[in-house]
Amino acid sequence: MSDDGQHGITLIAFVGSVFSPYYAWARGRGRANPDNHCALNVAIYSRGQGRWAMTERGQRHCARTARQFTIGPSQMRWDGDSLTIDIDEVCVPIPRRIRGRIKLWPQQLFGYSTPLDERARHRWGPLAPASRIEVALDDPDLKWQGHAYLDSNEGDEPVAQGFHTWDWSRARMRDGSTLVFYDMQAPGTEDRVLSLRFTPQGTVEPIATPPVQTLPKTGWRIARRMRSAQAVRVHEQLEDTPFYQRALLQFDHAGEPLLAFHETLSVPRLVSPVVQAMLPFRMPRRA
């Protein structure tokens, strides 16, 4: 997000995309190769210049090393000090290009990773929860600096086998710490919640889990919630799809007013045949 709060961008690099209908269909035919289902999802949130792209690439268009990941015409590379992402993607169904460069400088690198399920088949952890970002896009014409967050998810099985619904949020505090709530729910089981504070000194501190605050359902009728001792307000709706939502929320924590980046995923919605049939219209494949 830019320092003035007027611009935002989200990038997700996928190997074996959890949202890919092509990967799901390949698994249904036998053992699928995750390297044959890679994608760079780019979402730009800037008034009048918002764009969204996610084109899946086959294995012959992708390459991975310890320091570089190439996904078709786009790539990301780590030089030991910063992460550089060169973007060259096209939106669908209205073809608009996203082209330019983003650089991210971590304030502190973390080696933290934690299981999300009882069998430890799914794991998550921030790599750099507090970072500086520089955005220099040629198309659309956007140039700004601000703060950023970088994390990693990995799994040994399809997401539908480990999850039902989750609400995830992160917020930047005045002292530079990052507050994260990872709230996972499934019918007939107790909630599994991670409530963590990542400090500028590189420590990970568990905090008391606040009570649930129910949020209004989205336009696609997705139920969502947030962990907070006080009421929560939707500041801006960023994404609203049949199975996933992303929003900015205003809430208080320990007497400090915060702006949280919040996501909800409904796995039953994601894996429904209707949604799987809809996804290729937004997520084309170039094999």
Residue-level pLDDT at 35 = 97
Residue-level pLDDT at 254 = 93
The yes-or-no verdict on residue 4 having pLDDT over 90 is no
The rounded distance, in Å, linking the Cα atoms of 68 and 164 is 33
2 in a domain, yes or no? no
Question: What's the number of domains the chain is made of?
Answer: 1
The rounded distance, in Å, linking the Cα atoms of 225 and 204 is 24
Q: Which of 162, 154, 179, 139 is nearest to 262 (CA)?
A: 179
Residue-level pLDDT at 150 = 98
Beta bridge partners of 152: 125
CA 232 to chain centre: 21
Please report where in the chains the tokens 């088949």 appear, as a residue.
Answer: 121
Determine contact, residues 252/230, Cβ cutoff 8 Å.
Answer: yes
Determine contact, residues 169/263, Cβ cutoff 8 Å.
Answer: yes
Confidence of residue 31 (pLDDT cuts 50, 70, 90): confident
- Which burial class, exposed, middle or buried, applies to 22 when counting CB atoms under 10 A from its CB (0-12, 13-18, 19+)? buried
Residue-level pLDDT at 287 = 87
Confidence of residue 3 (pLDDT cuts 50, 70, 90): confident
Give the pTM.
Answer: 0.95
260 in a domain, yes or no? yes
The rounded distance, in Å, linking the Cα atoms of 98 and 136 is 11
262 in a domain, yes or no? yes
Q: Which pLDDT tens digit goes with each residue over 67-87?
A: 999 999 999 999 999 999 999
Determine contact, residues 62/72, Cβ cutoff 8 Å.
Answer: yes
Note down the domain range covering 226.
Answer: 7-286
Q: Which pLDDT tens digit goes with each residue over 84-138?
A: 999 999 999 999 999 999 999 999 999 999 999 989 999 999 999 999 999 999 9
Rounded mean pLDDT of the chain?
A: 96
What 3-state class would DSSP assign to 159?
helix
The rounded distance, in Å, linking the Cα atoms of 195 and 180 is 6
1 in a domain, yes or no? no
The yes-or-no verdict on residue 40 having pLDDT over 90 is yes
241 in a domain, yes or no? yes
Q: Which pLDDT tens digit goes with each residue over 142-184?
A: 999 999 999 999 999 999 999 999 999 999 999 999 999 999 9
Q: Which pLDDT tens digit goes with each residue over 201-253?
A: 999 999 999 999 999 999 999 999 999 999 999 999 999 999 999 999 999 99
Q: How far is CA 275 from CA 21, 49, 82, 117, in A?
A: 9, 27, 37, 25
The rounded distance, in Å, linking the Cα atoms of 15 and 56 is 10
The rounded distance, in Å, linking the Cα atoms of 148 and 1 is 6
282 in a domain, yes or no? yes
65 in a domain, yes or no? yes
Q: Which pLDDT tens digit goes with each residue over 191-214?
A: 999 999 999 999 999 999 999 999
Structure tokens at 44: 């730009």
Q: Which of 225, 220, 2, 203 is nearest to 108 (CA)?
A: 203
130 in a domain, yes or no? yes
Rounded to an integer, the average pLDDT of 256-281 is: 97
